[in-house]
Amino acid sequence: MCHLKRLLYFVLLFVAVSFRLQSQDFLAQRFEGKSDGLGLILYMEQYNTSVSGNLFVFHHADSTKITVSRMELIGTMADETTFVMKQAGFPEPCISGSFSKSGNSIALTGSCATFQAEVQVHKSVTGQMMLDLYRISETTPLWPDDPFSPKASLEMDAILPHVNSNARYTDALIRFASVQPGNYAPATAAYDSLMKFASMRFSDQYRRLAEGDPVQNQTRRIPDWERIQQMQLVLNDQGLVCIEKTVYAYSGGANGMTNSSYLIVNDSGNILTYRDIFREECYDELSSLIDQKLRDAYSLDAQSPLSQAGFFNEIIQPNDNLYLSHDGLAFVYNVYEIAPRSMGTIRVRLLPEEVEQCIEPGILNEQIRRIFHPAFIVEP
């Protein structure tokens, strides 16, 4: 009887994992509108009944100053056309919405930011690439026969190119999603197999490190491991894709760590870094912009040191951890990079008009200009 139960457990586990490995096209859209003087932009993704996204609320304090609130949202579809979402880390929903019959707009209502608006979908432009979302969720006990066994838990999202994409482009996204095995052919790799391999690699690493510690192994005080990887599409336009990857990892100790990283890549597979985007002579100018943005955000005057707000250094420099969207560009600093854990991840967003003069000339300059100013694009 015991063997029958164990067999049934593994059959159910296999069925559940196999279901979650199936690739599905997922909704990834950008909605934009205004309400009572507020500008609203919602980047929203839907996968089955789950929805997630980022909501940007633009407050126009005066004719020259704009403050931006950014909310990370997760939620569910209540039915085929309506959804509710909450801020990550908060228990109660604060955004609700419903799609129009055409799907070209949503009626959006919020309590975490007071507004009620009809938000229009941002029109697609030429140069968008097809992407699929893959997902896996597995828990691997160190000792399967022990119900109290320590375990390694993995929840993993991966945004990967549609089949028959450019090989270099596919390779860049596979590597960023952390699903590559040692050797593979990017153009023919089966993504569900890559996801399964990544899960096996994670559980194997846990087993090797746990069993390699004879003291903890003997006392069975090995900590559980947990890794949660979430990916979000920030930009897919004009031959450029920007993807955000946020990873929470815990392998013992007082706290887990969260890290956000970004990939900007074009349809030829070229990964764009700070040096590819910005002119070298603008480094000091961008540093000054970052300094001013931080002072505004933390209410510091020009004479006060940044350390007064808790920063480690008095000069915060641009870095390679940056994302690009229709609304500008942002430098992202993870926990402990420039400030203590209590200050969290820090994002410094620069508006298009603040950085355009610093962008390298050439074809990339034209691509980013079109992303910043979609109204200038003549659609076929």
How high does pLDDT run on average in the chain?
76
pLDDT in tens, 86-123: 876 667 788 888 887 766 677 888 776 665 555 554 43
Assigned token pair, 51? 């929805």
118: left (phi over 0), alpha (psi -120 to 50) or beta: beta
Closest CA to 156 of 206, 227, 87, 107: 227
**pLDDT level of residue 128 (50, 70, 90 thresholds):** low
Cα distances (Å, whole numbers) of residue 93 to 50, 86, 88, 124, 336: 14, 4, 10, 29, 30
Closest CA to 159 of 125, 127, 194, 185: 194
pLDDT in tens, 310-339: 999 899 999 999 998 877 889 999 989 998
Q: Per-residue pLDDT for 291 more than 90? A: yes
Residue length, the chain? Answer: 380
Quote the CA–CA distance of 37 and 66 in Å, as a whole number.
11
273 SS3 class: coil
**pLDDT level of residue 15 (50, 70, 90 thresholds):** very low
**pLDDT level of residue 207 (50, 70, 90 thresholds):** confident
- Is 0.75 topped by the overall pTM? no
